[in-house]
């Protein structure tokens, strides 16, 4: 290996520029407006006065559609969880981004079921 100081400076600059590119890469998760995306309370859950929070994850495509959904934490009631996943999977999300461009990203949503 050469010990030429100029060669070492160029090599160091290349290594450092590679590190800075990795640091700049950023991912912004998808999001949605809960005012425009609500779900109906299941009738049986209303009658049984079931309440709780359903935690879900959604894989959102660059066009804002849901590609995949997962239940992360149950509300404690299957009917509430099922209704939340079904309704929110049909919602239009604001797509996430990677390095400033729309991209497929995961986002987490907590849906609170509360009786008035």
Over the stretch 42-66, which tens digit does the pLDDT of each residue have?
999 999 999 999 999 999 999 999 9
Q: Is the dihedral of CA 19, 24, 25, 28 positive or negative?
A: positive
The residue that leads in pLDDT, 48 or 100, is 48
All structural domains of the chain with their residue ranges = 28-113
Architecture of domain 28-113: 2-Layer Sandwich (3.30)
Q: Residue 29 above 90 pLDDT?
A: yes
pLDDT level of residue 22 (50, 70, 90 thresholds): very low
Distance CA 42, CA 61 (A): 28
- Predicted confidence at residue 13, as pLDDT, reads 37
Token pair recorded at residue 65: 């559609």
In angstroms, how far apart are the furthest CA atoms of the chain? 81
Contact 56, 93 (CB under 8 A): no
pLDDT level of residue 38 (50, 70, 90 thresholds): confident
Q: Residue 25 above 90 pLDDT?
A: no
Quote the DSSP letter at residue 42.
Answer: P
- Predicted confidence at residue 96, as pLDDT, reads 94
Question: Pseudo-torsion of CA 24, 61, 67, 44, nearest 10°?
Answer: 100
Distance CA 96, CA 78 (A): 29
Buried b (16+ CB within 10 A) or exposed e, 87-98: ebeebebebbbe
């Amino acid at each position: 290996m050469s010990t030429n100081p100029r060669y070492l400076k160029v090599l160091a600059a290349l290594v450092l520029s590679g590190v800075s590119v990795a640091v700049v890469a950023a991912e912004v998760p998808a999001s949605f407006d809960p005012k425009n995306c609500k779900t109906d309370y299941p009738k049986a859950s209303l009658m049984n006065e079931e309440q709780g929070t359903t935690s879900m994850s959604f894989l959102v495509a660059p066009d804002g559609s849901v590609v995949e959904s997962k239940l992360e934490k149950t509300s404690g009631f299957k009917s509430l969880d099922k209704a939340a996943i079904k309704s929110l999977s049909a919602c239009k999300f604001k797509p996430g981004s990677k390095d400033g461009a729309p991209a497929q990203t995961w986002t987490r949503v907590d849906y609170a079921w509360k009786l008035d």
